[in-house]
């Protein structure tokens, strides 16, 4: 059984869950279902967009119906072949079985089943109590291929004559080339086949990526100042502050609590850097690359090349991570432009420094919160989060942001400003910021009322479903247990993607932990334990869901404590993962307990891809406030600490690789 899925799998495991859904309805083993990624299909409009943790719950019913229809047509074909009533036939692992035990393989029936002369088939979906595949833990179908290096990503594809290509990029964000002084010299370097100036830099095509990088670093290019020349963290923060709107909380008797929070730029780069293969020939183009919005990519490429959209074929490859980055197909557009300029196929790859310095980021933002407390009641609350570039974000913000607490009249508003940065959503989009601000304020409101943070949440939560998850998390985490000085628990709840999540973390802020010395590393406070309880609705693959929560938790740790980009004089100073401080081994929690509470009445699954992040961020921030004795107001918390590295220069653009890592391990 083969199925071309109109979604993009970048490691989140939707190929595996789709195999399970189809296998369930067709009585197959999931290994008998081959799921590939569909090429860009403009007729699908928004139904080929992979984003917002929405794939499983938006496709669940459709995929089940398609599988049930296919099974029904196969049963009809088998009934005609065997001369038996359809009602007496059964199916099992790719066979239609007759009443006397005779079996017909699906493959022998497909031609007859696909015949247009067959009558319409009644869709009969398997009842939940008969599920044998859905709800059972299953390892990702491509896990072994991934860890053994057999899995094919875009740059692994052997497209004829598509040679490695790297772009020399400018020193500042969006610097445009103003002419190169030594193109002929670089063309004559070993392995180099082509050098062309293009929109975002100067492209070098060579026999190997190493030779292409050598050519890039040898180029002498004149650059303009880019789109944010002279800008820094502070100048952007000043602009955001000027854009902040008044907080509209009515004046009523009681105490006013306010919070003012800053969230710095963060990179959504993945293990697989931006990449694509392009073969542009005359008025046609063929593209291979990871894309979460391939229809939009196809349209942009057609526009850039000056050809009709239907003349662009976009083959969607499986991606090595996304986290929001692959919603945009910057590398595919560049590859198409370079292929057209050179008249040859290219295999274009961004370097790690390109990803960090020129890639899309979560925009810098501020978040202001005000709450009015009167005795035992919160009478009003307001939250505003300005930041980022103008997009469709207003609608997305309104539809994703939910306050799970009864806090009187509450308003929440997104106010965007044009900052001329390359921005994109990052895993969980707005929620890490808004949840962090909200949960910190909830703790302050609880303290003002003299209540325990968990007890306050339990008393003021909106729905019994939320309270059930909250109470289970407190129980699993042994909330309120005795903790050493400098350590604390933090608790936070988040509601999104048709699910409810509560995180309880334990954080160690003691000097011996904060001041650990690790070469070129950011250490600081350490999360020592995470208890994460989720009600996600119907669970397709518990093992895959748990893995998604674990990944989201590590993202939340990074966003809250360590990983941010520093903007200085028009460019980000981080130029590799060596100095972008994502959660590493020394900061991962030794103990992580994921508890899934399946809603037996839920008709469909909830989202998983991003749901581990926001509650984790909020819980860590609250734990830090209790352990350190001060409410954090900037994130990541360690952003303005002295840097433990010397920034790489911007010219040449690709930093040198370590010569021998074994020396550092001794």
In terms of domains, do 321 and 283 share one?
yes
Q: Rounded mean pLDDT of 518-546? A: 95
Q: Rounded mean pLDDT of 187-208? A: 98
Decide the pairing of beta strands 34-37 and 2-5. Answer: parallel
C-alpha distances in angstroms, 120 versus 71, 117, 449, 547? 12, 9, 64, 40
In terms of domains, do 49 and 93 share one?
yes
C-alpha distances in angstroms, 472 versus 227, 466, 501, 527, 589? 50, 10, 11, 20, 20
Report the distance separating Cα 297 and Cα 638, nearest Å.
37
In terms of domains, do 174 and 137 share one?
no
Q: Which of 96-100, 113-117, 172-176 has the highest mean pLDDT?
A: 172-176
In terms of domains, do 501 and 405 share one?
yes
The answer to whether the bond into 371 is cis (omega within 30° of 0) is no
432 within some domain: yes
More confident residue, 602 or 422: 422
- Dihedral sign computed on CA atoms, order 31, 34, 36, 42: negative
In terms of domains, do 187 and 330 share one?
yes
Beta strands in 83-143 (DSSP E): 90-92, 95-97, 103-105
In terms of domains, do 320 and 454 share one?
no
Average the pLDDT over each of 226-235, 284-293, 604-613 and give the range with the smallest value. 604-613
What's the structural domain count of the chain? 3
Q: Rounded mean pLDDT of 578-598? A: 94
* Per-residue model confidence (pLDDT) at position 465: 94
Q: Rounded mean pLDDT of 248-270? A: 85
Report the distance separating Cα 372 and Cα 57, nearest Å.
37
Instruction: Identify the domain boundary among 130, 147, 164.
Output: 147
pTM of the predicted model, to two decimals?
0.94
* Per-residue model confidence (pLDDT) at position 535: 96
In terms of domains, do 552 and 586 share one?
yes
Report the distance separating Cα 655 and Cα 666, nearest Å.
24
Instruction: Identify the domain boundary among 329, 349, 369.
Output: 349
| Concatenated DSSP letters of 136-191 | S----TTHHHHHTT-S--GGG---TT-EEEEEE--SSTT--EEEES-HHHHHTSTT
Instruction: Give the closest residue to 25 by CA, choosing from 98, 111, 127, 116.
Output: 127
* Per-residue model confidence (pLDDT) at position 118: 67
Report the distance separating Cα 182 and Cα 231, nearest Å.
30
* Per-residue model confidence (pLDDT) at position 400: 60
Containing structural domain, residue 538: 361-635
Q: Rounded mean pLDDT of 114-119? A: 77
Q: Rounded mean pLDDT of 246-250? A: 70
Residue 579 — very low, low, confident or very high, per pLDDT cuts 50/70/90?
confident
243 within some domain: no
The answer to whether the bond into 176 is cis (omega within 30° of 0) is no
* Per-residue model confidence (pLDDT) at position 390: 45
Report the distance separating Cα 549 and Cα 528, nearest Å.
16
370 within some domain: yes
In terms of domains, do 82 and 204 share one?
no
508 within some domain: yes
* Number of residues that make up the chain: 666
* Per-residue model confidence (pLDDT) at position 664: 64
More confident residue, 658 or 87: 87
* Per-residue model confidence (pLDDT) at position 380: 58
248 within some domain: no
Instruction: Identify the domain boundary among 147, 175, 200.
Output: 147
Using CA atoms in the order 336, 338, 343, 345, what is the torsion angle rounded to 10 degrees? Answer: -60
Instruction: Give the closest residue to 303 by CA, choosing from 332, 270, 265.
Output: 332
Residue with tokens 């991962």: 588
Average the pLDDT over each of 217-226, 365-374, 449-458 and give the range with the smallest value. 365-374
663 within some domain: no
Residue 386 — very low, low, confident or very high, per pLDDT cuts 50/70/90?
very low
Residue 250 — very low, low, confident or very high, per pLDDT cuts 50/70/90?
low
pLDDT of 378 above 80: no
More confident residue, 425 or 532: 532
Ordered alpha helix ranges (H), 205-329: 209-218, 233-243, 294-305
Residues 501 and 432 sit within 8 Å (Cβ to Cβ): no
- In percent, the amount of the chain with pLDDT more than 90 equals 76
Q: Rounded mean pLDDT of 97-114? A: 93
Using CA atoms in the order 142, 145, 149, 153, what is the torsion angle rounded to 10 degrees? Answer: -40
124-149 pLDDT, tens digit each: 899 999 999 999 999 999 999 999 99
Q: Rounded mean pLDDT of 576-582? A: 88
In terms of domains, do 452 and 534 share one?
yes
264 within some domain: no
In terms of domains, do 472 and 559 share one?
yes
660 within some domain: no
Name the average pLDDT for the chain: 92
pLDDT of 251 above 70: no
Report the distance separating Cα 567 and Cα 71, nearest Å.
56
17-71 pLDDT, tens digit each: 999 999 999 999 999 999 999 999 999 988 898 887 888 989 999 999 999 999 9
C-alpha distances in angstroms, 279 versus 117, 159, 192? 41, 9, 18
Here the tokens at position 347 are: 């295999």
Here the tokens at position 581 are: 């401080």
In terms of domains, do 122 and 190 share one?
no
CATH number for the domain that contains residue 391: 3.30.365.10
Residue 397 — very low, low, confident or very high, per pLDDT cuts 50/70/90?
low
pLDDT of 263 above 80: yes
174-184 pLDDT, tens digit each: 999 999 999 99
More confident residue, 238 or 396: 238
In terms of domains, do 176 and 67 share one?
no
Ordered alpha helix ranges (H), 326-430: 330-342, 352-357, 393-400
């Amino acid at each position: 059984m083969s199925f071309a899925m109109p979604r993009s799998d970048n490691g989140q495991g939707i190929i595996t869950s789709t195999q399970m859904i189809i296998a369930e309805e067709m009585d197959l083993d999931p290994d008998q279902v081959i799921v590939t990624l569909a090429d860009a299909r403009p007729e699908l409009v928004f139904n080929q967009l992979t984003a917002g943790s929405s794939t499983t719950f938006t496709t669940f019913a459709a995929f089940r119906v398609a599988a049930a229809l296919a099974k029904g047509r196969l049963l009809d074909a088998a009934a005609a072949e065997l001369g038996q009533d359809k009602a007496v036939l059964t199916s099992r692992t790719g066979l239609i079985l007759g009443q006397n035990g005779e079996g017909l393989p699906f493959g022998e029936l497909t031609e007859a089943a696909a015949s247009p002369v067959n009558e319409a088939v009644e869709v009969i979906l398997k009842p939940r109590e008969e599920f044998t595949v859905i709800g059972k833990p299953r390892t990702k179908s491509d896990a072994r291929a991934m860890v053994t290096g057999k899995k094919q990503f875009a740059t692994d594809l052997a497209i004829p004559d598509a040679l490695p290509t790297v772009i020399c990029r400018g020193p500042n964000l969006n610097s445009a080339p103003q002419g190169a002084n030594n193109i002929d010299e670089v063309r004559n370097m070993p392995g180099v086949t082509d050098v062309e100036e293009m929109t975002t830099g100067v492209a070098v095509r060579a026999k190997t990526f190493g030779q292409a990088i050598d050519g890039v670093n040898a180029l002498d290019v004149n650059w303009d100042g880019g789109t944010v020349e002279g800008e820094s963290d502070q100048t952007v923060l000043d602009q955001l502050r000027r854009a902040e709107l008044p907080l509209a909380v009515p004046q009523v008797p009681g105490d006013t609590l306010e919070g003012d929070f800053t969230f710095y730029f963060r990179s959504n780069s993945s293990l697989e850097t931006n990449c694509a293969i392009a073969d542009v020939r005359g008025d046609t183009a063929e593209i291979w690359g990871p894309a979460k919005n391939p229809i939009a990519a196809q349209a942009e490429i057609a526009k850039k090349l000056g050809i009709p959209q239907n003349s662009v074929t976009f083959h969607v490859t499986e991606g090595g991570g996304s986290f929001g980055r692959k919603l945009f197909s910057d590398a595919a557009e560049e590859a198409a432009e370079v292929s057209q300029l050179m008249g040859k196929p290219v295999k274009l790859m961004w370097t790690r420094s390109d990803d960090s310095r020129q890639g899309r980021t979560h925009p810098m933002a501020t978040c202001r919160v005000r709450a009015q407390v009167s005795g035992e009641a919160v009478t009003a609350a307001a939250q505003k989060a300005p930041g980022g570039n103008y997009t469709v974000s207003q609608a997305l913000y309104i539809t994703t942001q939910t306050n799970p607490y009864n806090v009187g009249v509450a308003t929440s508003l997104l106010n965007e400003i044009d900052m001329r940065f390359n921005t994109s959503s990052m895993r969980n989009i707005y929620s890490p910021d808004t949840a962090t601000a909200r949960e910190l304020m909830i703790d302050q409101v609880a303290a003002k009322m003299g209540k325990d943070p968990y007890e306050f949440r339990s008393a003021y939560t909106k729905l019994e479903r939320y309270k059930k998850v909250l109470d289970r998390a407190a129980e699993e985490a042994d909330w309120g247990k005795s903790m050493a000085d400098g350590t604390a628990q933090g608790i936070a709840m988040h509601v999104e993607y048709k699910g409810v999540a509560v995180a309880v973390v334990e954080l160690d802020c003691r000097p011996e932990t904060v001041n650990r010395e690790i070469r070129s590393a950011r250490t600081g406070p350490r999360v020592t334990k995470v208890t994460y309880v989720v009600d996600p609705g119907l669970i397709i693959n518990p093992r895959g869901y748990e893995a998604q929560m674990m990944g989201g938790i590590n993202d939340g740790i990074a966003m809250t404590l360590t990983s941010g980009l520093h903007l200085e004089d028009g460019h980000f100073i981080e130029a590799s993962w060596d100095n972008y401080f994502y959660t590493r081994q020394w900061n991962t929690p030794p103990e992580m307990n994921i508890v899934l509470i399946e809603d037996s009445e839920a008709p469909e699954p909830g989202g998983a891809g991003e749901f581990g992040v926001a509650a984790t961020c909020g819980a860590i921030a609250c734990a830090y406030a209790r352990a350190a004795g001060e409410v954090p107001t900037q994130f990541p918390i360690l952003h303005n600490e002295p840097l433990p590295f010397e920034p790489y220069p911007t010219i040449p653009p690709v930093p040198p690789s370590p010569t021998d890592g074994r020396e550092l391990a001794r």
